[in-house]
C-alpha cells in the first residue's frame, strides 16, 4: 500500500514537471516583443529573399512592419539565398516542408521557387517585375492559385527615364548591364528597347552577367560604346552596384538607376519609389490572408505608387553632369 502511494506521488511530480517544461517550450517571441502568446494566435511566416541589397532588405522590413501594424503575432523563419539558384530552391522546399502559414518571397527567383515548392501554402511576393511573364499569376487582377503580391515595375518608370535621357542627353547611346537569366530583367530590357525605338534613339548597348563578380567587367565593356548607363532593377547587378558607380565616375558616364535606394548609393538619377512601401503593401495583403479575410486568388497584384524623379547632386559632380535649372521643378535632390 505504501509503495502504491509513493508511485502515485512520483507520477504526479513527473506530470507537473512535464507540464512546466512544455509550457516553457511553448513560449515564443512575437514581432511586437510580447512573449508567451498562445500558439493558435501566433503565425509562422517563412521569408525567402533572393539576395542581400538595400532595396530588397527595405522591402522585407516593410513587410514585417505591416504585419506588426495589423496587430499580428508572427514567428519568422528568414532565409537568404545569396543569389545562388540551388539555395533558392532548397529554401523554398524547406519552408514548404516545415508547414509555415505563409511564405513571403522577395524577388522573382524566390517567388518562382516558392510556387514550385507548394500549391497549398499561401505565397505573397514582392520585388517582382513581371508577375504574369514569370508565370506566377494568371493576371494582375485575378492572380488565381495560392499567390499574390506587389510588383516593382511602375509602368511609367522606364519610359520616363528613357525620355529624360533623350531630352537632356541628346544623340547619346544608352548602355545597360543585366542578368539574362533573370526573367524580370529581360522584361525591363525589352521595355527599354521599345522606348528607344519609339523615340528614335540609338540602339541599346547591352552586356550580360551571370554573377555579381562579373558586373564590373561588364560595365567596363560599355566604355566607348555607351554615353549613358542605365541599370534596371536587376538583382545580380544591383547587389554589385558600387562597381558600376566606380566605372561611371571614372569615365564620366551618367548613371541612371531603377530604384531610389540605388540613387542614395551613388547613382545619378532614377524614376522610382521606396521598396519599403511595396514590401509594406505586400504585408497588408499577407495580413488579410492570415486573418482569413481573403484568399490569395481574391487579392489583385498591386502596383507601386508615388513614382518620382530623384537626382543625386554628388553623383552628378562625380560623373561631370551639369545640373539644369529646369530640373528643380521635375525632381527631388539628395547629396
What is the per-residue pLDDT across 294-312, written as a single tens digit (0 to 9) for each? 999 999 999 998 899 999 9
Greatest Cα pair distance, the chain, in angstroms, is 103
What is the pLDDT averaged over residues 260-279?
A: 96
Query: What's the pLDDT at 41?
Result: 84
| pLDDT band with cut points at 50, 70 and 90 for residue 265 | very high
| pLDDT band with cut points at 50, 70 and 90 for residue 142 | very high
Cα angle 34-40-43, degrees, rounded to a multiple of 5: 65
Write down the CATH superfamily of domain 157-272+308-334. Response regulator (3.40.50.2300)
Query: What's the pLDDT at 305?
Result: 86
Is residue 17 scored above 60 in pLDDT? no
Backbone angles phi, psi at 163, to 5 degrees: -65, -45
Which of these CATH numbers, 3.40.50.2300, 3.30.360.10, 3.50.50.60, 3.30.450.80, describes 41-152+275-298?
A: 3.40.50.2300
Helices (H), the chain: 2-26, 54-69, 85-97, 108-117, 157-168, 183-199, 215-220, 235-238, 241-250, 260-265, 275-290, 313-318
Q: What's the pLDDT tens digit per position in 82-140?
A: 999 999 999 999 999 999 999 999 999 999 999 999 999 999 999 999 999 999 999 99
Is residue 73 scored above 90 in pLDDT? yes
Residue intervals of the chain classified under CATH 3.40.50.2300 are 41-152+275-298, 157-272+308-334
What is the pLDDT averaged over residues 310-315?
A: 98
Poorest-pLDDT segment among 19-28, 155-164, 188-197: 19-28
What is the pLDDT averaged over residues 214-222?
A: 99
Dist CA 170 CA 158 (whole Å): 17
| pLDDT band with cut points at 50, 70 and 90 for residue 31 | low
Is residue 20 scored above 60 in pLDDT? no
Is residue 25 scored above 90 in pLDDT? no
Query: What's the pLDDT at 23?
Result: 34
Coil, strand or helix: which one is 231? strand
Return the DSSP state at 120: S
| pLDDT higher at 81 or 8 | 81
Residue found by looking up cell 525589352 in the block: 190
Amino acid at each position: 500500500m505504501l509503495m502504491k502511494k509513493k508511485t502515485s506521488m512520483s507520477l504526479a511530480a513527473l506530470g507537473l514537471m512535464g507540464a512546466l517544461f512544455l509550457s516553457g517550450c511553448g513560449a515564443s517571441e512575437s514581432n511586437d516583443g510580447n512573449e508567451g502568446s498562445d500558439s493558435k494566435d501566433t503565425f509562422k511566416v517563412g521569408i525567402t529573399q533572393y539576395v542581400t541589397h538595400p532595396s530588397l532588405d527595405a522591402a522585407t522590413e516593410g513587410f514585417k512592419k505591416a504585419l506588426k501594424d495589423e496587430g499580428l503575432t508572427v514567428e519568422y523563419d528568414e532565409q537568404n539565398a545569396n543569389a545562388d539558384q540551388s539555395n533558392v530552391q532548397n529554401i523554398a522546399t524547406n519552408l514548404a516542408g516545415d508547414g509555415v502559414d505563409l511564405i513571403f518571397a522577395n524577388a522573382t527567383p524566390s517567388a518562382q521557387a516558392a510556387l514550385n515548392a507548394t500549391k497549398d501554402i499561401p505565397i505573397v511576393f514582392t520585388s517582382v517585375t513581371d508577375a504574369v511573364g514569370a508565370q506566377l499569376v494568371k493576371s494582375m487582377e485575378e492572380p488565381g492559385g495560392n499567390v499574390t503580391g506587389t510588383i516593382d515595375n511602375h509602368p511609367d518608370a522606364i519610359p520616363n527615364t528613357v525620355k529624360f535621357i533623350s531630352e537632356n542627353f541628346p544623340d547619346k547611346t544608352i548602355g545597360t548591364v543585366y542578368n539574362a537569366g533573370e526573367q524580370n530583367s529581360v522584361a525591363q530590357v525589352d521595355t527599354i528597347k521599345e522606348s528607344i525605338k519609339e523615340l528614335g534613339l540609338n540602339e541599346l548597348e547591352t552586356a550580360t552577367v551571370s554573377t555579381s563578380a562579373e558586373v564590373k567587367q561588364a560595365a567596363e565593356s560599355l566604355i566607348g560604346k555607351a554615353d549613358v548607363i542605365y541599370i534596371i532593377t536587376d538583382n545580380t547587378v544591383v547587389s554589385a552596384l558600387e562597381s558600376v558607380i566606380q566605372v561611371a565616375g571614372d569615365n564620366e558616364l551618367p548613371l541612371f538607376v531603377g530604384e531610389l535606394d540605388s540613387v542614395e548609393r551613388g547613382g545619378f538619377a532614377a524614376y522610382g519609389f521606396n521598396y519599403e512601401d511595396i514590401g509594406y503593401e505586400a504585408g497588408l495583403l499577407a495580413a488579410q490572408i492570415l486573418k482569413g479575410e481573403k484568399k490569395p486568388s481574391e487579392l489583385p497584384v498591386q502596383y507601386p505608387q508615388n513614382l518620382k524623379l530623384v537626382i543625386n547632386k554628388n553623383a552628378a559632380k562625380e560623373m561631370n553632369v551639369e545640373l539644369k535649372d529646369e530640373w528643380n521643378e521635375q525632381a527631388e535632390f539628395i547629396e
